[in-house]
Amino acid sequence: METKILSTDEKDINEAGKIIRNGGLVAFPTETVYGLGASALDAFAAKKIYAAKGRPSDNPLIVHICDKNQIEKIAAEIPPSAKTVIDKFMPGPITVILKKKPCIPDDVTAGLDTAAIRFPSHETAQRLIRAAGVPIAAPSANLSGKPSPTKAKHVINDMTGRIDAVIDGGSCAVGVESTIIDFTGEKPVILRPGGVTYEDLKNAGIEAEIDKNILRSIAADEAPKCPGMKYKHYAPNAEVTVVEGEITAVRRKIKELLKGVNGKIAGVMTMDGADYDNAVILSVGSGNKEYAQNLFAALREFDELGAEVVFAEFCDDGGYGLAVKNRLYKAAAQRVIHVGGNE
C-alpha cells in the first residue's frame, strides 16, 4: 500500500477525513504524540489498526472526539467527578474511562464494557475528526513496542506501506501520551500518568488514586485495569538503564558505569547537557516538561546513532516527572539504579 504524506491544508485534511470515513487508516498529530486513526464506529477499520501496528488484540484503543456533546453519545454514564475533569481539562492531554454505549464496537475496546474517551486540543486533530464526521479510534502511531512518535518522520519510519496516509503537523508539544483516568470504580484512578499531572487534578478537587502498576512490571498472567500496562513499551534497540537520584550522584554513577561497557557504543540521555567521555550524548533539556517533550525522539535517535547501551539521568517525580519516569522505566524494562544524595 502506498502511504500518502499529507499537509495540514484544508484540501488534505478533507482527503484524510474521507479516508477515515471510508474505513482507512490515517496517522495524525495531537498535542501528546501522533495517533493512528480509524473510524471508531467501524469494527473492521479498528481491526486494521491492530494489524498495522502489530498490536495485541486485547489492548483497547482511545476514542477521539472534537466536541464535548459527543461524550454522551459514547458513554452510558458520566459520574460527577468525570464531569469536573471534562469541564476543566478537555480539550487537552487527558483520557477518561467511562462505561460505554453499544455504538462503540468491541474491536475498539478489546471487548471491555468501557471506552477511553479523549478530546485533543491540537487544532489539526480537531479538524480531522470534524472532517471525518465520526469519532476516531487511535492508539499511538508507532509499531507495537517502539517509542511513541512525536514527529511525522517517526511515523513514516514505522508505518510506511502499512497505512493510507500521514498528516505532517510538526512536533508534538507535550511529547508523552495522555493521562488516563478511570471513573468506573468507587474512586477515580490514574491508570497512566501524562500531560495532565496528579497535581493539576488535585488542584481541581479530584482526589485520584495512582494505580500501583504505574512504576512496576506486570507478570504475563496478570490482568491489569489498563491492558496496555502489560506490554513491552517504548523500547529502543539499546539496553536502557535509568540512573535516578540527586543529580551529582547520578552523574558520578553514570561515569563509573561508562567505564564498564566493554567497547559497546554507549549513550547518555542527559538533562541540561552534562559532559561525559566516550559516549553519545543527547540532551533532553532542563526540567521534566522538556524531558517529556524530548524523551521519545531521543530514544529513537539513539537507535539511529547505533547506541547499544544507554544510561538515562532522572531526578525527580514532580509535575511531568511521574509521566517521564513511567515511560523511562518501561523503556528500561525496569533496569533502574537508585543512587543516594550527596554521599
- Give the contacts of 274 (CB within 8 A, at least 6 positions apart): 251, 268, 281, 313
Nearer to Mg ion, 91 or 194 (CB): 194
Candidates 109, 179, 197, 326; binder of ligand AMP (CB under 6 A) is 109
- Site membership for ligand AMP, residue 213 (CB under 6 A): no
Q: What are phi and psi for residue 162, nearest 5 degrees?
A: -105, -20
45: left (phi over 0), alpha (psi -120 to 50) or beta: alpha
Nearer to ligand AMP, 91 or 139 (CB): 139
Nearest approach, Cβ of residue 160 and ligand AMP (Å): 19
Candidates 147, 193, 227, 267; binder of ligand AMP (CB under 6 A) is 227
Residue 79: asked if its preceding bond is cis (omega within 30°), the reply is no
Nearer to Mg ion, 236 or 245 (CB): 236
In this chain, which residue has its C-beta nearest to ligand AMP? Answer: 228
23: exposed, middle or buried (Cβ count in 10 Å: 0-12, 13-18, 19+) = middle
Number of residues that bind ligand AMP (CB under 6 A): 18
Nearest approach, Cβ of residue 57 and Mg ion (Å): 15
Segment 43-72, which members bind ligand AMP (CB under 6 A)? 59-60, 62
Q: Which three cell numbers stand for residue 115?
A: 471506552
- Site membership for Mg ion, residue 140 (CB under 5 A): yes
- The number of residues in the chain equals 343
Listed ranges 109-117, 120-128, 266-274, 305-313: which one lies at the site for ligand AMP (CB under 6 A): 109-117
Nearer to Mg ion, 135 or 228 (CB): 228
Instruction: Tell me which residue of 65, 326, 338 sits closest to 211, measured CA to CA.
Output: 326
**Torsion angle defined by CA atoms of residues 142, 144, 147 and 151, in that order, rounded to the nearest 10 degrees:** 0
- Give the contacts of 325 (CB within 8 A, at least 6 positions apart): 215, 242, 244, 314, 317
- Site membership for ligand AMP, residue 74 (CB under 6 A): no
Strands 35-39 and 136-138: antiparallel
Listed ranges 64-72, 114-122, 158-166, 235-243: which one lies at the site for ligand AMP (CB under 6 A): 114-122
**Which helix or strand (DSSP H or E) is residue 52 part of?**
helix 43-53
List the single partner that 109 binds among ligand AMP, Mg ion, none, CB under 5 to 8 Å by kind: ligand AMP
What CA–CA distance (Å, rounded) separates 306 from 6? 30
List the single partner that 60 binds among Mg ion, ligand AMP, none, CB under 5 to 8 Å by kind: ligand AMP
Site string for ligand AMP, 182-201 (x = CB under 6 A): ---------x----------
Which positions lie near ligand AMP, rule CB under 6 A? 59-60, 62, 97, 109, 112, 114-116, 139-140, 177, 180, 191, 225-228
Positions in the binding site for Mg ion (CB under 5 A)? 140
